[in-house]
Amino acid sequence: MKKIINKPNDVVSEMLMGMVKANPKLVYFKDLEVIASRVKEKKVGLVSGGGSGHEPAHAGYVGKGMLDAAVSGNVFASPSPDRVLKGIQEANTGEGVLLIIKNYSGDIMNFGMAKDLAEMEGIRVEAVVVKDDVAVKDSTYSTGRRGIAGTVFVHKVAGAKAAAGGSLDEVKRVAEKTIANVRSMGMAMTPCILPGVGKAGFTLGENEIEIGMGIHGEPGVERTCVKTAAQLAEILCGKILADYDFAGSECAVMINGLGATPLMELYILNNEVEKILKENNIKIYRTFVGNYMTSLEMAGCSVTLLKLDEELKELLDAPCDTPALKV
């Protein structure tokens, strides 16, 4: 195992300390592994999080116009309810808090328990669950579809609505609207190595890739040979377009790297995705290319489409200032 770390058990805390030192507008609560914004505004608070190893998600999206707090679990493990409760407490300014949860059983359970605890303290809390992965209907880690890179669009839209002074009900509504209109599909070319384990959790042959693999290494839908960028775009977009009717609409596109894929390759894939969308009478409103929801050092990518209307376009374009995304 070759990694730039000290002790495997310290990777999460040391990562978060390093992030705060690079971004002084953030504050880190050690032992509870919560990152929050130092700037407190009287508005609806937004909290998200999950297992570490997906950076910049989710702590990288804390800041003006997006999240108010992010809660980190151990690598690929859900944060405990006490950590989530701390995130809720830090995000709360009296206007209520929205939890944005990815659809994994551990996150659903622990964020739900924290919601109950916060409500016992008199904090109004609502929750939404992101399930944008069209690869599988059910998985080992979730009931229903997994939440992957489309979660970032939910952060952006809900964060913009909260920053504009929307009520908790209004912020939840636009978050749910985004969830209803976002779809993603991914693939992996190499495994990743958990620091505490020291070896890959699965293997892929020299010329093998896995279509539909999840961000924790969950099984995909097909193991096949290496494909060209054009072939991969056809497979990933084909699944997405077969699942939801984007024809004739305007969309935001996210070409997301899983950690080890060069930007060169992501831009090549974006070129092919643009061709397919044009052929299907889908207009691209904005495109995001980069590492937004990763899986340690896994090589691979995902494609996300978000169907837009005028409201979602306005919220997508609203200013934000976070370590990982600035608009």
Query: Of 180, 204, 238, which marks where a domain is finished?
Result: 180
pLDDT in tens, 215-244: 988 888 899 999 999 999 999 999 999 999
**Cα–Cα distance for residue pair 324/273, rounded to 1 Å:** 23
Tokens linked to 40: 């407190």
Final residue belonging to a domain, choices 148, 180, 212? 180
The CATH number for 201's domain is 3.30.1180.20
Residues in CB range of 115: below 8 A, 6 or more apart: 88, 99, 125, 127
pLDDT of residue 201: 77
Residue 241 within a domain: yes
From CA 251, how far away is CA 270, in angstroms rounded? 14
Overall number of domains in the chain: 2
Q: Which pLDDT tens digit goes with each residue over 246-290?
A: 999 999 999 999 999 999 999 999 999 999 999 999 999 999 999
In a domain, residue 326? The reply is no
> What percentage of the chain carries pLDDT values higher than 90?
90
Q: Are 246 and 231 in contact (CB under 8 A)?
A: no
One domain, residues 113 and 200: no
**HSE value, Cβ hemisphere, 13 Å, CA-based, for 326:** 2
| Segment (H or E) for 97 | strand 97-102
pLDDT tens for residues 105-149?
Answer: 999 999 999 999 999 999 999 999 999 999 987 555 557 899 999
pLDDT above 70 covers what percent of the chain? Answer: 98
CATH of the domain at 69: 3.40.50.10440
pLDDT for residue 24 is more than 90? yes
Residue 154 pLDDT > 70, yes or no? yes
Mean pLDDT of the chain: 95
Domain extent at residue 271? 182-317
pTM over 0.95: yes
What is the C-alpha separation between 57 and 182, in angstroms, rounded?
17
Distance CA 301, CA 185 (A): 9
Whether residue 263 is found in the same domain as residue 302: yes
Q: Among the three residues 125, 150, 180, which one is the final residue of a domain in this structure?
A: 180
Which helix (H) or strand (E) segment is 36 a member of?
A: strand 34-37
pLDDT at 144: 81
What's the distance, Cα to Cα, between the start and end of the chain in Å?
37
327 lies in a domain?
no
What mean pLDDT comes out for the span 169-192?
A: 97
Residues marked as catalytic: 54, 216
Among the listed residues 147, 138, 183, 184, the one whose alpha carbon sits nearest the alpha carbon of residue 57: 147
Instruction: Determine the pLDDT at residue 138.
Output: 59
Closest CA to 126 of 70, 32, 47: 47
